[in-house]
Structure 1
Amino acid sequence: MLTAYQERSPLAFYMTQNVKEHVFGSADELPDIKDIPSFWEWVTDSLIPATHSQDWYNGKAYPSDMVLPDLLTHQLGTAQLRQVRLIPGQLCETPEKMQDFAPRCTVAFANLKADTENYMQGWIPYNTTANSNDTIPTPPPLIGQDTPWNFTFVSLSDSFPFFGIHGTYLGGGYTTALGTTLTSSAALSAYLEQHNWLDERTRAVFVELILYNPHANLFSVVSIVVEFTQLGAAFTSGEVVSLRLIQHDAILLLALRALLAAFLIFFVVKEAKSLLARPLEYLSEFWSWVEVSVIVIGFGSLGVYFNAQGIIDEAAEQRRSGNTVFEIYKSAVNWFQIYTYLLAFLICCATLKLIRLLRFNSHVYALSMTIKKSFDPVMKFFFVAGIILMAFTQMGNLLFGIKLQDYKNILTSLTSLCTMMLGSFDFDALVDGHYILGPAMFFTYQAVMQFILLSMFMTIIMDVYAEESQDPNTDDLQMVAFVKDSTFGTVDKAKHTLSEVRKQKPKKTVKTEAPDPKNLNKFAVFLHELDDPNRL
């Protein structure tokens, strides 16, 4: 936990809100983009002025043009525009009865139908012979003539897919960068709009920025995605992720991670011995799987962290060399987000282990035994409840799928019914969907789920809990006896080990020497003299 929270900044939330207000225009709302013309209007009137501040607070010119209006947040590289398109050609056919009305049609985006070819200016294929009388306008000097029209491939390890509202988009696309000044960025935007860089085959356009605030030592990755569907409508989504990629206390964090690695190695050895000693019993215990989860997630988080730090070091070297670092920092942020997710699961599993330490408390013991003994009847109950829930889910989707957003597909319908069971619902929307079927479905669903199924679930749990509370197994609650048995077990194991070591010690061999014949003769004469009666 110290490692996790040491890397987080309490200012990350406020930086996210600040960036949203400057780039999005509002901390709570996304840009209002409805079609291609409104997209270019937003780029020209909002995005470019927001990312290129011209004046100080006193009105004097600011020496760097790639800074937000707060004069504290800087761009790492220029803003990137990237689009994904459909391949040219007829991708679908209009129904025969409607071909005389609309002979052409288009389809939704799919990665198998994504265009990856290179084109000349204006999406003209290279194998097309241009008319000698046509003149090709000169693009702005900040880009190559064919750069926005060439497809850029990106490795899957460096760029993760984006899950949008109407499709899943990989990292590649037709990419271009805005300028380093307000004038050059405006010129590029006008050039792309004039030559129809976005057209009817465009399915999504990404606007991506990487910002850095040196005063808070925070990075922000801004992603705005506009999806153009075959309906003619545009759907906008976006996010801002603020992270601290470079740490001040790097030595302390490295020491903490080394300590974490040592603990993980200790747990690996300990759990491996338990698994080999009693494999079937070990695999059937819940806490064994918690230990395995801690080990796997722990090693995974360490690997992802060091991979992200290696990418950050590479970005620093590339920036010193004057190379473009936008894609490198973007890859580092993606990996660091995965590291954050793994760390969250790791802390969750490690915190759950506290329940095992409290098992000597009678109430905690009763609760754990209740969960264990009620598992089988609860699973049977969930099976029946799941069937009933899916019945209402399909009913809601079929009744209100074309009218209400909360029931537009099976997943959203299921989510709406689950939140309705928790008390969060919009009854007026159901009435607007259908003034008879809406209230009828609502009251029927609430009666079945709240008064019948929920009561049955509580009855199953309370019966088992009451049984465990009245007759607890006192042998499992004796902490002193547990410590005593554990101590005696450890001492007996140590004694057994010492005895085994002693048994394995080689015995000392006594050397026997042959008697000297001269000494034997002297001893015989001495005995004869003692036996002679005339000696006295």
Structure 2
Amino acid sequence: MKCLNNRADSHLTGQVECELNSVGKGGWVNQGYCGSPPPLPRAVSTIYNPQPLYQSSMDSMYKLDTLGPFSQPPEDLPSAEQSLVKKPRGCCSFVKGLWGTTLTENTSNNRELFVRTTIRELLIYVVFLVDICLLTYGMTSSSTYYYTKAMTDLFVNAAGAGGVSFQSIGTMSDFWTYTQGPLLDGLYWTKWYNNQSLDNGDQSFIYYENMLLGVPRVRQIKIKNNSCKIHKDFQNEITGCFDVYNEKKEDDLSFGLINGTAWTYHTEKELNGSAYWGLLATYTGAGYYQDLSRTKEESAAMLTELADNLWLDRGTRAVFIDFSTYNANINLFCVIRLVVEFLATGGAIPSYQIRTVRLIRYITHWDYFILGCEMVFCVFILYYIVEEILELRIHKLSYFNSIWNILDIVVILLALVAIIFNIFRTIKVDQLLDSLLVNPDIYADFEFLAFWQTQYNNMNAVNLFFAWIKVFKYISFNKTMNQLSSTLGRCAKDIMGFAIMFFIVFFAYAQLGYLLFGTEVQSFSTFVKCIFTQFRIILGDFDFDAIDRANRVLGPIYFVTYVFFVFFVLLNMFLAIINDTYSEVKEELSSQNDELHITDIIKQSYMKTFMKLKLKKEKISDVQKALRSGSGEIEFKDFRETLKEMGHSDQEISAAFSRFDRDKNQILDEEEQERMKIELKEKKDALSAELNNLGMNYEKELLEKPPAASNQQNNNSSQTFVDCDEFVRLSRQVLHLESSVAGITSKIELIMEELGLQVKTKGKEAAGKLSNHEPASDGSVLVCVDRGTKAEMSSRRPVVRNNSTFDSHM
């Protein structure tokens, strides 16, 4: 007995240790609990609050125990049974409940557990998805588009007195005409439309609403002379050579008047600039710059001086006009960059970039609501980080075999970058605005922040896209939803083989089109444009006349053969592969047995809750009948016999009677009976209301469902339908059987415990007699081993051991 007790004690100590600390290889290790799973609590069933051994997750939704004053277990129960009612919890059971997923629990052989766990994951993820949607859409506004459109119409599309707009700039002369006309007129608004002053001093409000921040800046990048090599036959006639833009050939020498920033080269670091990706090349943030003034007259004089002294020459490759505005009505910044690229061939190509961003975040009540959503978002990201760590620790490298796990990591990484940038942006904007308010006559460089804010918005858009795609992870267990993923997974190899053949033909035609039409057709002017143009031809968007004009013979041949091979042959082969695989997958899924789906779980939980309520209501009716059957005072034995005939267990009857027998005399007087009737009526009315909320017609609709519909759902299983009364009777018998078994089990365990105590007592007596060299009372022979360790070597009579007690701990 001593040895067995030591084993039991050591095992109880081991239950405290968490399995998360030791993960075995080669087998599934449930990381959700500490030690061995505890035995299921044996809930005590009463007349008013029956609790079956199996409780669904939907039971807690309705909180049935709060309907009456009978939620506590009876006081007269043995202490051992009261202790069994409490469910042991530990650190790892908390982890299992909070981070339990289909990858941290062994759901391979338990379809119902898999569906329930997936539903719980989906509900948590829906809350996360709502939160990230609020964050993403809370940072944008429909006013952003109209703000951008207003600035585009004013500075890009508007034409001056000479008819030159920014989009029509084709020469250096056109550029100066635009800057001294539409540009200055758009930048400086100091009067109303009736020439009345705005009374804002020298501060400009574009369209009367958008404040010009600081002063505009004009910057150019030049290329060195003789940066290209002239053929010897033209060296006498051509004295200067300016190559296409290249950073290594960028000119850094002072020129012209040499007495200002417009004539002196400044590095990218000195200007705190950044590179710009233009239509022809990628330009650095260095160059020669001129900051304009806060008044229109002074700025016009500066531009005239630059034009008169040939600030732009043959070496100029790009001119940038940068300025920023702020609209307090909608709390948006508009950072505008107008770019004119001068080609080595002569002429100019204008382009522009307008970024409308929200740099100041928290002003209105809605902004602070978004701040709260951001905090919730951070909590969710921390939650999912812990979840992925647990899953990675369990599955090791096999964790990366699932595309959904990789998608989880991508979403988390993007979210972490977004959080870090959000903090950086808030600090940087405050510093920039502080310096601008101290000296409003300097150039307000919001280009850097606007660029990264745009990338931040793009990253959030991609992250939201991935977050929506991840929903398929939680709904793919359904047969219908599984068809898409199964089809793509099965035909992946065929599609890869087809893709090789397709792109060989596709890129062959792209090179052919580039070489045939690249010199005349804009959509074929570069190889990249050829690729996109051919995709557009597949979709029916093409300009056949331009191809025909470029080459009257090879143009039609190229077009007809491309459409035939790519559109009619290859594209239809691609569709045939997917269609054939889809048909196979659909046929296989239709022939399989229906597994447990989410709708089945909801129906089962709904029906269990419905039947439990109905059985409780019937038991209350039985107690009311027992009360009405008696006259005057009711003794416990009469009360017990009446309810026993109706099928109630002794435990339920004792709990009901002792609840109202205040004086404990085993007799219910008239006052106690009246109080019992009142509480029974209140309980019954509450249950009736609950049944009405659940829907009384659900049971009828379920039972009236034609057998053919059920057979269609499960072709390989036979089902027997019973009427409602028979189903209620069977359910009631099952619950009574469970309560009876629970009572018998508790009594058996108590008997086994008493036997164990007796055996332990005999062992102590035998040990005492052994120390006195006396034979044991039962005739057993005891031998002393290893200095006092006593072991029973043989016995005439077997010792009864409490196997159930030890088995629960071993």
For normalisation by structure 1, the TM-score amounts to: 0.81
Distance 1:380 1:324, change over 3 A: farther
1:325, distance to aligned residue in structure 2 (A): 6.4
Amino acid corresponding to residue 17 of structure 1 in structure 2: K
Q: What does 1:319-398 align with in structure 2 at a 5 Å threshold?
A: 319-322=436-439, 326-398=443-515
Q: 1:433 to 1:336 in 2, by over 3 A?
A: same
Of stretches 91-100 and 202-211 in structure 1, the one that deviates more from structure 2 is: 91-100
For residues 395 and 120 of structure 1, the distance between their equivalents in structure 2, rounded to whole angstroms, comes to 46
**Residue among 296, 313, 320 paired with 1:182:** 296
Which of 395, 399, 423 is the equivalent residue of 2:516? 399
Alpha-carbon distance between aligned partners in 2 of 1:472 and 1:158, rounded to the nearest angstrom: 62
* Match of residue 303 from structure 1: 420
| Alignment match, 1:162 | 276
Q: Of 582, 587, 601, which aligns to 1:465? A: 582
Residues 308/427 of structure 1: CA separation in 2 closer, same or farther (3 Å cut): same
Is residue 149 of structure 2 the alignment partner of residue 17 of structure 1? yes
**Larger displacement relative to structure 2 (62-71 or 337-346):** 62-71
Deviations 1:355-404 (A, max 9, x none): 12221332320111111111111111111111110000000001001010
Instruction: Say which SS state the counterpart of residue 396 (structure 1) adopts.
Output: helix
Identify which range, 413-422 or 433-442, moves more after superposition: 433-442
Task: Name whichever of 196-205 and 244-253 sits farther off.
Answer: 244-253
- The alignment-based identity, stated in percent, is 25
Partner of 1:479: 597
8 Å contact kept, 1:311–1:328: no
Structure 1 residues 480 and 147: CA distance shift in structure 2, 3 A = closer
Contact kept in structure 2, 1:50 and 1:68, CA below 8 Å? no
Measured after TM superposition, the shift of residue 252 of structure 1 is 2.4
Q: Does 1:146 align with 2:283?
A: no
Within the alignment, does 1:288 sit opposite 2:424 as a pair?
Answer: no
Find 1:102's aligned residue among 224, 238, 242: 238
Do the aligned partners of 1:86 and 1:113 also contact (CA within 8 Å) in 2? Answer: yes
Partner in structure 2 of residue 203 of structure 1 = 317
Whether 1:114 and 2:231 are equivalent positions in the alignment is: no
**What is the identity, as a one-letter code, of the residue corresponding to 1:22?**
L
Considering only aligned residues, what root-mean-square deviation do their CA atoms show, in Å? 2.5
1:192-222 CA-partner distances (Å, limit 9, x unpaired): 1111111111110001110112222221111
Distance 1:394 1:58, change over 3 A: same
**What SS is found at the alignment partner of 1:151?**
coil
Shift of the alpha carbon at 1:169?
1.0
C-alpha separation in 1, matches of 2:416 and 2:270: 22
- Is the 2:190–2:203 contact (alpha carbons within 8 Å) kept by the matching residues of 1? no
Deviation at 1:69, TM superposition (A): 5.2
- Return 5+ residue gaps in structure 2 as ranges: 1-132, 160-164, 606-810
Query: What is the letter of the counterpart of residue 358 of structure 1?
Result: I
1:73 to 210, 229, 243: 210
Question: Given the alignment, which residue of 225, 231, 245 partners 2:339?
Answer: 225
Deviation of 1:326 after TM superposition, in Å, equals: 4.0
Question: Which letter does structure 2 place at the counterpart of 1:51?
Answer: L
How far has the Cα of 1:483 moved from its partner?
Answer: 7.3
1-structure distance, mates of 2:271, 2:343: 28
2: CA distance, partners of 1:370 / 1:174: 59
2:543 corresponds to 1:426: yes
Residue 283 of structure 1: how far off its partner (Å): 1.1
Query: Does structure 2 retain, via aligned residues, the 8 Å contact 1:315–1:325?
Result: no
Q: Per the alignment, in what secondary structure is the counterpart of residue 236 of structure 1?
A: strand
CA drift at 1:99: 2.6
Counterparts in 2 of 1:21 and 1:343: CA distance versus 1, 3 Å: same
SS of 2:537's equivalent in the other structure is: helix
The CA deviation string for residues 343-363 of structure 1, in whole angstroms up to 9 with x for no partner, is: 011101101011122213323
Residues 477/240 of structure 1: CA separation in 2 closer, same or farther (3 Å cut): farther
Separation in structure 2 between the aligned mates of residue 476 and residue 187 of structure 1, nearest angstrom: 82
Deviation at 1:100, TM superposition (A): 3.6
Report what 2:229 is aligned to.
93
Q: CA deviation at 1:480?
A: 5.1
Question: Which residue of 152, 173, 177 corresponds with 1:41?
Answer: 177
User: Which shifted more, 280-289 or 246-255?
Assistant: 246-255
Asked whether the 8 Å contact 2:203–2:294 carries over to 1, the reply is yes
Alpha-carbon deviation of 1:482? 11
For residues 451 and 168 of structure 2, the distance between their equivalents in structure 1, rounded to whole angstroms, comes to 27
Cα pair 1:30 1:236 within 8 Å, conserved: yes
Decide whether the 8 Å contact of 1:81 with 1:175 is kept in 2.
yes
1:276 to 393, 396, 411: 393
**Larger gyration radius, structure 1 or structure 2:** 2
5 Å-filtered alignment, 1:484-495, equals: none
Q: What runs of 5+ residues in structure 1 fail to find an aligned partner?
A: 124-144, 488-536
Give the partner amino acid of 2:467.
A
* Contact 2:213-2:444 at 8 Å conserved across structures: no
Write the distance in 2 (CA, Å) between the matches of 1:114 and 1:459.
55
Query: What does the per-residue CA deviation read over 1:133-157, in whole Å, with 9 as the maximum and x for residues that have no partner?
Result: xxxxxxxxxxxx4221233334499
Q: Relative to 1, partners in 2 of residues 1:320 and 1:152: Cα closer, same or farther, differing over 3 Å?
A: same
Counterpart AA for 1:67: S
TM-score by length of 2: 0.54
Q: Given that residues 262 and 289 in structure 2 are in contact (C-alpha distance below 8 angstroms), is that contact kept between their aligned partners in structure 1?
A: yes
Of 447, 455, 460, 2:572 maps to 455
Alignment length (residue pairs)? 462
Q: Return the alpha-carbon distance in structure 1 between the equivalents of residues 320 and 337 of structure 2.
A: 7
C-alpha deviation, 1:327, in angstroms: 4.6
Report how far residue 324 of structure 1 moved.
5.9
Aligned 8 A contact 2:144 2:356 in 1: yes
Check the 8 A contact 2:271/2:286 in 1, yes or no: no
**8 Å contact kept, 1:225–1:237:** yes
Cα shift at 1:459 = 1.1
Alignment partners' CA distance in 2, 1:155 and 1:242: 25
- Whether contact under 8 Å (2:210, 2:328) holds in the other structure is yes
**Which residue matches 2:23?**
none
TM-aligned CA distance change 1:476 to 1:220, over 3 Å:
farther
CA deviations on 1:219-266 (whole Å, 9 max, x unpaired) are 111111111121112111112221222233443222222211211121
Post-superposition offset of 1:477: 5.0
Matched AA of 1:80: R
Of the structure 1 ranges 427-436 and 390-399, higher mean CA displacement relative to structure 2 is found in 427-436
SS of 2:530's equivalent? helix
Secondary structure class of the residue paired with 1:9: coil
CA gap of 1:299–1:342, structure 2 versus 1, over 3 A, is same
User: SS at 1:198's partner residue?
Assistant: coil
Contact 1:406 1:412 in 2 (8 A): yes
In structure 1, what is the Cα distance between the partners aligned to 2:599 and 2:153? 62
> Residues 86 and 114 of structure 1 are in contact (CA less than 8 Å); yes or no, is this contact kept in structure 2?
yes
Check the 8 A contact 2:214/2:440 in 1, yes or no: no
Give yes or no for contact 2:483–2:585 (8 Å, CA) kept in 1. Answer: yes
Which AA in structure 1 matches 2:573?
A: M
Cα distance in 2, alignment partners of residues 325 and 359 from structure 1: 58
Separation in 1, partners of 2:318, 2:228: 19
- Trace 1:495-510 onto structure 2 (pairs within 5 A): none
CA deviation after TM superposition for structure 1 residue 313, in Å:
0.9
